[in-house]
Amino acid sequence: LSMKTGYPYGHFRHNLDTVMIGSVPLVACFVYFPLIAIGWVYGDMIVKSVPVTKSSETILRILIASLVTATIDLLVDPILTLVFRFWDYPNGGGIFGVPMTNTVGWMANTVLTLTIFELISNKNWKRPQDRIESLYGPVCYLMLAQAIPLFVARFTLENRIVADVTGKGWNLLDIYDCLSAFALVVLGLLFVLGTIGHETYEKR
């Protein structure tokens, strides 16, 4: 839909030489759903640790999950676009060649996906809450681990200029500096909040 119309992610095209479903690589599915699952488990942990009404739990869980998934994608998408060339945005974008519409699209798509999931699971599925709770701690560390490749790349790769499809050049170390700082602050904050939420829930 986005490749045809530009919505919700913005106009982009895949460059992966792999099994395709229409114009979309099959491997994209194996990236998309784990990110949403991480966001959902994190959201579940937060809403279980704060005093909210039952009716508010679902909404908050979905909104938190959409923020988490969009944040993780924001960290990796510029690298996958400019350095690895897995896909590109023909019109370019201010986030190192990636348009802001991509982040908004991730949030919108996560909200839509998890709304459908919540509606179906609330009626037809008894959630294994004990298994979900066992993932609370690991999910916090898994999110924090997203920053590791950025820091490794920052201090091991040589600097060079990489260009997006519009020809605009970006300094590679500038990209890693910016994304690493963002990861340190945002993922660090999410890790702290998640750890506090986990401990609060355990004490209850």
Tokens of 182: 């963002």
3-state secondary structure of 88: strand
> What are φ and ψ of residue 170, in 5° steps?
-130, 135
User: CB–CB of 11/89 below 8 Å?
Assistant: yes
pLDDT tens profile 104-118: 999 999 999 999 999
Do residues 99 and 91 lie in contact, with contact meaning Cβ atoms separated by under 8 Å? yes
Q: Classify residue 65 as left (phi > 0), alpha (psi -120 to 50) or beta.
A: alpha
The residues facing 169 across adjacent strands are 163
In which residue ranges of the chain is pLDDT below 70?
Answer: none
Alpha helices in 54-187 (DSSP H): 54-82, 100-124, 129-133, 136-145, 148-156, 172-182
Contacts of 81 (CB under 8 A, 6+ apart): 87, 88, 89, 96, 97, 98, 164
Q: State both tokens at 16.
A: 């992966």
Cβ–Cβ under 8 Å, residues 35 and 74: no
Return the closest-CA partner of residue 25 out of 12, 15, 35: 15
Assessment of whether the complete model's pTM goes beyond 0.75: yes
Compute and round to an integer the Cα radius of gyration of the chain. 18
Two structure tokens written together for 179: 């994304």
pLDDT computed for residue 123 by the predictor: 76
Residue type (1 letter), 16: L
By the 10 Å C-beta count (0-12 exposed, 13-18 middle, 19+ buried), 154 is classed as middle
pLDDT at 28: 82
Q: Provide the token pair at 147.
A: 């920053």
